[in-house]
């Protein structure tokens, strides 16, 4: 699998750029711990696992692709929110305009749906798939790390939801751009998390029939 996802590898704002560089070293965004990609544990090979098991386990990627499509839809709506009214002056003059309100409502609805879907996906993993895989001691450190990364994803989703609530009453241009920067980070975190999960768990998911 390629390290870059075409849906999430676009240019980002300068405020987000430094935070994205920090993801690899596990630094934080305010009070949210970002991913330590370099320090991630690796799953031990499973004796007796076959290529058929690995193919079966790679079905997890189908679920992930669905969520990435949802993220792309939110990104598209956010871009319309950022660019739909033109300049900062136009945004300030058009706070109550139909175009601004429609763009915001579209983004807010999509984001709310995405938050629910991603929360459900992670709950299913935590309550069903991960307990099955924990019988293998060689996977436990990986599963612990993935659970911690779920917390990061959910914290970023909560941050975005809070920003959307503030924008509903005061959609200032700088706050919209700050929201976009946070969303840039969320996309990078989710793509990295999904890739790590698929790489480390595919063999085990098939071997233990956990999906």
CATH of residue 129's domain is 1.20.120.520
Most confidently modeled range among 93-107, 128-142, 167-181: 128-142
Q: Does residue 19 form part of some domain?
A: no
- Domain residues for 190? 56-207
pLDDT at 131 over 70: yes
pLDDT at 161 over 60: yes
Select the more confidently predicted residue: 199 or 95. 199
pTM: 0.74
pLDDT at 164 over 80: no
Q: Which of 1, 3, 43, 6 is CA-nearest to residue 24?
A: 3
pLDDT at 68 (0 to 100): 83
Q: Does residue 158 form part of some domain?
A: yes
* Residues whose CB falls within 8 Å of the CB of residue 23, separated by 6 or more in sequence, listed in order: 34, 35, 37, 185, 188, 189, 192
Mean of per-residue pLDDT scores for the chain = 74
Number of domains in the chain: 1
Q: Does residue 69 form part of some domain?
A: yes
Q: Does residue 178 form part of some domain?
A: yes
Cα 185 from chain centre: 8
pLDDT at 18 (0 to 100): 52
Q: Does residue 45 form part of some domain?
A: no
Confidence of residue 6 (pLDDT cuts 50, 70, 90): very low
Q: Does residue 28 form part of some domain?
A: no
Q: Does residue 47 form part of some domain?
A: no
pLDDT at 103 over 50: no
Select the more confidently predicted residue: 85 or 176. 176
pLDDT at 92 over 80: no
């Amino acid at each position: 699998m390629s390290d870059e996802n075409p849906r999430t590898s676009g240019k980002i704002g300068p405020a987000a750029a430094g935070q994205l560089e920090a993801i690899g070293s596990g630094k934080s965004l305010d009070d949210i711990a970002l991913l330590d990609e370099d320090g991630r544990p690796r799953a031990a090979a499973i004796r007796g696992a076959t290529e058929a098991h690995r193919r079966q386990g790679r079905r997890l990627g189908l679920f992930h692709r669905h969520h990435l499509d949802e993220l792309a839809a939110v990104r598209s709506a956010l871009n319309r929110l950022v660019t739909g009214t033109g300049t900062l002056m136009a945004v300030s003059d058009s706070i109550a305009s139909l175009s601004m309100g429609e763009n915001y409502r579209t983004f807010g609805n999509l984001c709310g749906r995405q938050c629910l879907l991603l929360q459900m996906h992670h709950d299913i993993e935590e309550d069903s798939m991960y307990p099955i895989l924990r019988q293998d001691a060689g996977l436990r450190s990986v599963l612990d790390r993935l659970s911690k990364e779920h917390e990061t994803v959910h914290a970023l989703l909560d941050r975005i939801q809070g920003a959307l609530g503030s924008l509903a009453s005061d959609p200032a241009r700088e706050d919209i751009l700050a929201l976009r920067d946070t969303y840039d980070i969320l996309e990078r975190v989710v793509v990295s998390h999904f890739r790590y999960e698929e790489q480390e768990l595919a063999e085990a998911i098939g071997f233990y029939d956990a999906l």
